[in-house]
Structure 1
Amino acid sequence: MTFADMRPCPSPGCPPPEEASAGAVLTIDLGAVRANYRLLKARLGGGACAGVVKADGYGLGAAPIAEALQREGCDTFFVALAEEGIALRQVLGEAPSIFILNGVPPGAEAACAAAGLTPVLNSAEQVAAWRQTARRLERRLKAALQVDSGMARLGMTAGEVERLAADRHGLDGIDVVLVMSHLACADEPGHPANKAQLLEFRRLSAMLPAAPASLANSSGIFLGADWQFDLARPGAALYGINPTPDAENPMRPVVRLDARVIQTREVGAGAGVGYGHAYRAAASLRTATISLGYADGWQRHNAAAAFVDGRRLPFVGRVSMDSIVLDISAVPAGRLKAGDLVELIGPSQSVDQVAVGGGTIGYEVLTGLGSRFFRRYVDQ
């Protein structure tokens, strides 16, 4: 007997066995990703728009996300690590440009060159190693140069840029195809660092070989034309995270997370719920325990809520490794039973709202989502 034979509901409307057996379902709307890409590209006024798919597409699957963006016309992608780039090359084929934001770790240069990857060179040491690789392979190699315009995270310092500019052999064998930097405060439009970084980027990039320039991330696109240059590198906005935190989110939501009810029960007044009895019922209530916890990436201290039929179902007690208890007194008795799904991220509660509940940002929510979900990709 197979698992499918054991399904309690063999009718055509039932979910597949993998979904039915999962504790939670993560739905990823590739159509929304493509729509977000179109919106961002439209704001660039003719400039090129890349897709940042690092960290496995912000936790949502780099391969399906990148393939959807490629169908939308995106031909330039950014990842963080060389291994991410090698895997992505196998998915996308030889045509797209794939940049490695962290550069190439020592010893991985030949593998990156063989995969046709373009490292973002962040230091004099990385430049020297890539130059030596080009000499060893006896061919020219493409690279991006990143300058530190004021974030003090990655990129060549002003001194390194000046020394490289003065060394007529410093870029031997290297075709510079992009000069870039990264904004530290783009999500705060009025922050003085944005203008300071723009001016410093212009100053440093003028010392380097003429090449397309890139400064804007998701939020940087919304700072205006001065910051957009030749290529923008949106990441979070593609996945529905608000790039303009002080204004209405212009992006379409991409993710929906629904968790399955394990059981329901009546809890009497005065009863303690969950570890440490951190919650004690002031009056009798009805509860549902759902199959989701911090092993799935839902932070232990994030006491947000679930929703069903638009009604808020507060968490009661602590988030456990594999489960959370909800107060379902607001819904009619019998509305929820074992196997039903409740919404954690979706129309009633966005990724950014979940992040507020956990004292973090939407980036961390998405990239922290675990591997135990049934992942369902739709393209609406």
Structure 2
Amino acid sequence: MPKNLTPIANPDLSQEHPTVLEIDLGALKHNLQVLKSRLQQKTKFLAVVKAFAYGSDALKIAQTLEEEGVDYLAVAYTSEGIALRDGGIRLPILVLHPQPDQLSRCIDRCLEPSIYSPRLLRAFVKTAEEKQQTDYPIHLKFNTGLNRLGFWENDVDRVNELLQNTRSTKVKGLLSHLAASDDPAEKEFTQAQLKQFEKIGKELVEKLGYQPLRHLLNSSGILNYPEAQFEMVRSGIALYGYGNAPEFDAELKPLGRLRTVISQLHKIEPGESVGYNRAYKAEAYQLIATLPLGHADGIGRQYGHGKGQVWLQGQLAPIIGNVCMDMLMVDVTGLDCKEGDPVIVFGPEHSAEDFARGAGTISYELLTGISSRVPRQIIDSTR
């Protein structure tokens, strides 16, 4: 090793990577209030913070939501809930997709599992009894049409029988998941789901002898079916600024802004190619900007060939050629820009939904796919 080279044990990527995901807690607070304004005062609010809070910062988001008075949090997997508990979060945390071998850890960290099958219910009861639990809270998930996870309606008697034979477990919640609450063309299907869920709830309450928290509405459900709030609602994507419809997007503020800079500008002549496999060939004189982010940062190859556009100097510039692992190139012909200038990939100026739509995908996939090597910068526009 050269004598003048000092090793760095834990390099600070925020000082190295010029691409940054800016996370605005002020936008989060705003979106929460917009959603709460559509609820009855007694309706509880569950905030979904799975997948690193939709690609942002799960712990910081959870801390803010706890401070803002939400009633529940939800994650997909047990490890996500454990990370929040280790970070000091004390709110009830629902685990939406627990696995049988993780049920013991759920109990150890006071996480509430969503139980969605007879196999999982038997496994949880066995685990809870071995740990000498009494009335440990669980949520029962019933399938009303999404056909992904959940008991069937005709499982109510079997579920009740299993629960009546143990004191270890108590039903804290009853849930299902809407399949198309954002699609006006599927209103009839969604209303059928609502009716089936209400029917299942009545049957279960009669057998249990008490009323669990019923929660069915997701973000689009809150916005489109306010009559079905039951005791609690769940919101994910709307908290992060996307309402799945232009009229709702206008009320919300995107939480994340992915920004980068121009690393280098190239002037190319007609017939010259850009990037791997010579995937783009210029038809005229052009000015090309290289940006320091690529598919290793979460901007996949599907955004190449003009399907993705970035925002600079108040205009959109198309991504050209193939997206590289660490870089991508955009056409900035006619724009007054220079090396080092800022570029917005998505954010309030250019929504993640619009960016994703160009490549035939959705904001969920784009947001949750931003790599961990992209530094997160927390700001609060309300302060």
TM-score (norm 2): 0.89
What is the Cα deviation at residue 344 of structure 1?
Answer: 0.8
Structure (1 or 2) with the greater helix fraction = 2
What is the identity, as a one-letter code, of the residue corresponding to 2:131?
L
Q: 1 CA distance for matches of 2:163 and 2:26? A: 48
SS of alignment partner, residue 50 of structure 1? strand
Pairwise mapping of residues 268-287 of structure 1 onto structure 2 (< 5 A)? Answer: 268-287=269-288
- Which blocks of at least 5 consecutive residues in structure 1 are unaligned? 4-16
1:163 to 155, 158, 162: 158
2:338 to 332, 336, 339: 336
Aligned to 1:14: none
Q: 2 CA distance for matches of 1:96 and 1:189? A: 34
Q: Is the 8 A contact 1:241 1:363 kept in 2?
A: no
Q: 2 CA distance for matches of 1:121 and 1:20? A: 44
2:139 paired with 1:147:
no
> How much is the aligned-residue C-alpha RMSD, in angstroms?
2.0
What is the identity, as a one-letter code, of the residue corresponding to 1:139?
Q
2:39 to 31, 36, 44: 44
What is the Cα deviation at residue 320 of structure 1?
Answer: 1.2
TM-score (norm 1): 0.90
In structure 2, do the counterparts of structure 1 residues 77 and 56 end up closer, same or farther at CA, with 3 Å as the change threshold?
A: same
Aligned to 1:68: 64
Q: Deviations over 1:206-253 (max 9, x none)?
A: 122321210001001012332211111100111112233576542111
What is the Cα deviation at residue 186 of structure 1?
Answer: 0.7
In structure 2, do the counterparts of structure 1 residues 168 and 63 end up closer, same or farther at CA, with 3 Å as the change threshold?
A: closer
Aligned to 1:131: 125
What is the identity, as a one-letter code, of the residue corresponding to 1:325?
M
Pairwise mapping of residues 173-322 of structure 1 onto structure 2 (< 5 A)? Answer: 173-191=168-186, 192-208=188-204, 209=208, 210-244=211-245, 248-302=249-303, 303-322=307-326
Q: 2 CA distance for matches of 1:215 and 1:71? A: 24
Q: Is the 8 A contact 2:146 2:177 kept in 1?
A: yes
SS of alignment partner, residue 257 of structure 2? strand
What is the identity, as a one-letter code, of the residue corresponding to 2:354?
Q
- Which blocks of at least 5 consecutive residues in structure 2 are unaligned? 7-11
What is the Cα deviation at residue 74 of structure 1?
Answer: 1.4
SS of alignment partner, residue 314 of structure 1? strand
Q: 1 CA distance for matches of 2:244 and 2:268? A: 42
What is the Cα deviation at residue 379 of structure 1?
Answer: 0.8
What is the Cα deviation at residue 372 of structure 1?
Answer: 2.0
In structure 2, do the counterparts of structure 1 residues 229 and 168 end up closer, same or farther at CA, with 3 Å as the change threshold?
A: closer
The alignment covers a number of residue pairs equal to 363
What is the Cα deviation at residue 255 of structure 1?
Answer: 1.1
In structure 2, do the counterparts of structure 1 residues 109 and 367 end up closer, same or farther at CA, with 3 Å as the change threshold?
A: same
Q: Is the 8 A contact 2:44 2:71 kept in 1?
A: no
**Structure 1 range deviating more: 231-240 or 339-348:** 339-348
In structure 2, do the counterparts of structure 1 residues 247 and 177 end up closer, same or farther at CA, with 3 Å as the change threshold?
A: closer
What is the Cα deviation at residue 347 of structure 1?
Answer: 3.5
What is the identity, as a one-letter code, of the residue corresponding to 1:316?
I
Q: 1 CA distance for matches of 2:315 and 2:147? A: 45
User: How many percent identity over aligned positions?
Assistant: 34
2:78 paired with 1:82:
yes
Q: 1 CA distance for matches of 2:24 and 2:161? A: 49
SS of alignment partner, residue 207 of structure 1? helix
What is the Cα deviation at residue 169 of structure 1?
Answer: 2.4
Q: Deviations over 1:332-376 (max 9, x none)?
A: 2xx311x33211112331010011012111100001011221211
